[in-house]
Amino acid sequence: MNTESTKTIKGGDLTISNIFYFIQGYARLGLYTYIPSLMRTHIRMQIACRINSMDNECKADGRCKYCGCHTPALQMCDKACGKPCYPYMLTKSSWEDIMLGYKIFDYHTGYLWGVEEDKFIKYNKSNGKRV
């Protein structure tokens, strides 16, 4: 069995977690588009913030230039952007904290994150300065 052909599809890794994120992203995209009231508020608000934080090239191409995932389905799933433009999906309590002005550390990206004007802002973990 050729592991190279089964491991990579269009630049992305074919893993169980990425398959889950693909399904999660498209399921949430359907809800976000057609029945947003069925989504938890903190998830819906983060998705809007993630879309506002996207790299402009990725937004224009409809595909992430780092991982090849389709946008905006990529912004709907829990995983963080590969650049990263935004953190892993926050819990309700972390989202409430970030909305109060606190910075939240995301161990998936290695950065501190805040929100300003409905966009995620990345901060250096060691000195707290904007990246």
Question: For residue range 23-34, what is the model confidence (pLDDT) as tens digits?
Answer: 999 999 999 999
Return d(Cα 44, Cα 28) in angstroms, integer: 9
| CB-based contact 115:121 (threshold 8 Å) | yes
Q: Does 131 fall in a domain? A: no
Q: How many structural domains comprise the chain?
A: 1
Q: Does 129 fall in a domain? A: no
Q: Does 43 fall in a domain? A: yes
Cα distances from 64 to residues 36, 55, 60, 115, 127, in angstroms, run 24, 8, 10, 21, 29
Question: 7: helix, coil or strand?
Answer: helix
User: Which domain, by its residues, includes 96?
Assistant: 3-123
Residues 6+ apart with CB under 8 A from 67: 11, 12, 74, 82
Q: What is the pTM of this model?
A: 0.85
pLDDT band at 6 (very low <50, low <70, confident <90, very high): very low
Q: Does 64 fall in a domain? A: yes
Q: Does 27 fall in a domain? A: yes
Q: Does 118 fall in a domain? A: yes
Place of tokens 């650049």: 83
- The 10s digit of each residue's pLDDT in 55-114 is 999 999 999 888 888 899 999 999 998 889 999 999 999 999 999 999 999 999 999 999
Q: Does 96 fall in a domain? A: yes
Return d(Cα 41, Cα 93) in angstroms, integer: 12
